[in-house]
Amino acid sequence: MEAMLYQKLDKGAVRCNLCAWHCVIQPGKRGVCRVRENRGGRLETLVYGKAASYAVDPIEKKPLYHFHPGSTAFSIATVGCNFRCNFCDNWVISQEEAITGEELPPELVVSEALSLRCSSISYTYTEPTIFFEYAFDTSRAAHRSGLFNTFVTNGYMTPEAIEAIHPYLDAATVDFKGSGDPAFYREYCGVPSPDPVFESLLAMKSKGMHIEITDLIVPWQGEIRGSFTKLVRWVVDNLGDETPFHILRFFPSYRYEGPGSTAEGLLEELWKMAKVEGLKYVYLGNVPGHRYENTYCPSCGKLVIGRIGFQVTSLRLKGSSCAHCGSRINVRV
């Protein structure tokens, strides 16, 4: 299928404008993501309708804690990714060289989601930008059927991609690794700079999309506290102090060789630092049963959404307000 968002260059080359790599691809070659190929001067997506993974997940697994809490998301992914994180959790599909997957066209994704009583479709597990056409058509069909759409993304997109998908995209979890430290992105994710991620966030914000941020804290990321504080301040200043912010515990995976998982004490210290910087909704992820998985009302301090892992255990909301004191909570229900 012909790709969206590309331009033809001289001598049969094309430039892909879907993600911040802006790959220039010669005939017969593929882009960095390995799933977009120049066939005779025409850019083709190789993964349209080819689901390498699909499942029904709690929306909290994305993680989206402030977007229809307690609902379920039909979650899909294809092979391929535009990052090369050597600690990837989903490396089996993200770093797969072959084009594999089960035929699952957009209409079938939507009908499956409806029959399984999901409220949304989540484009996740690998970077959804690289299966854009599949996500785009599925999102449009999903909206027609009353389903929401959410991206779990590394944010390494172009403004054109956001402009195209935003009418159908209701929410995004934007994942930072190593607190957005440029050296970390270069060395461990294989991308030259995290700057496009920040630009994507500004574009999403301007479109009124619901945004949640994750930051994967890896034990070897260097000067953790400085990078972390810088990221939190950027979020407060540019996205607002009501932006849900998830501090994720790292567990060893893929090619990672080094110290084990992130110490819980460090995560708790960062949680406190984020609160001091003014963020109202800060969470710890991958620490099931921790009290920092819960949402507390910023006004009265009482529990409004209780969670254990990905399960919502209590909901004390009246619409989008705290059921105890009536203050507005930044939550979409």
Residue ranges binding ligand SF4 (CB under 6 A): 16, 18-19, 21-23, 31-33, 36, 82, 130
- Nearer to ligand SF4 by Cβ, of 33 and 236: the residue is 33
Contact between 218 and 262 (Cβ < 8 Å)? yes
Element (H, E) at 231: helix 224-238
What's the closest the beta carbon of residue 302 comes to ligand SF4, in angstroms? 45
Phi then psi for residue 71, to 5 deg, are -90, 175
Closest approach, Cβ 106 to ligand SF4, in A, equals 19
Q: How far is the CB of 293 from ligand SF4 (least distance, A)?
A: 34
Cα separation, 329 vs 333, in Å, equals 11
- Using the minimum distance from each CB to ligand SF4, give the nearer residue, 188 or 281: 188
Nearest residue (CB) to ligand SF4, 31 versus 178 = 31
Residue 34 vs 280, nearer CB to ligand SF4: 34
Can you state the angle between helices 224-238 and 264-276, rounded to 10 degrees? 40
Tell me the CA distances in angstroms from 316 to 245, 297, 304, one per residue in order: 20, 10, 5
Q: Closer CB to ligand SF4, residue 156 or residue 283? A: 156
Q: Is residue 253 left, alpha or beta, with left meaning phi > 0 and alpha meaning psi from -120 to 50? A: beta
Closest approach of ligand SF4 to the CB of residue 145, in Å: 27
CA triplet 184, 23, 88: central angle to 5 degrees? 35
118, 63 Cβ separation under 8 angstroms: no
User: Considering only CA atoms, which of 280, 287, 326 is closest in space to residue 307?
Assistant: 287
Spacing of C-alpha 287 from chain mean position: 19
Distance of closest approach, residue 6 Cβ to ligand SF4, in angstroms: 8
User: In this structure, which long-range contacts are made by residues 301-305, counting pairs with CB atoms below 8 Å and at least 24 apart in sequence?
Assistant: 304/329, 305/65, 305/69, 305/331
Minimum Å gap between C-beta 4 and ligand SF4 is: 10
**Which residue lies nearer to ligand SF4 by CB, 48 or 250?**
48
By beta-carbon distance, which residue lies closest to ligand SF4?
31
**With contact defined as beta carbons under 8 Å apart, do 307 and 313 qualify?**
yes
In the complex, minimum distance from the CB of residue 193 to ligand SF4, in angstroms, rounded to a whole number: 14
User: Is 36 or 61 the residue whose CB approaches ligand SF4 more closely?
Assistant: 36
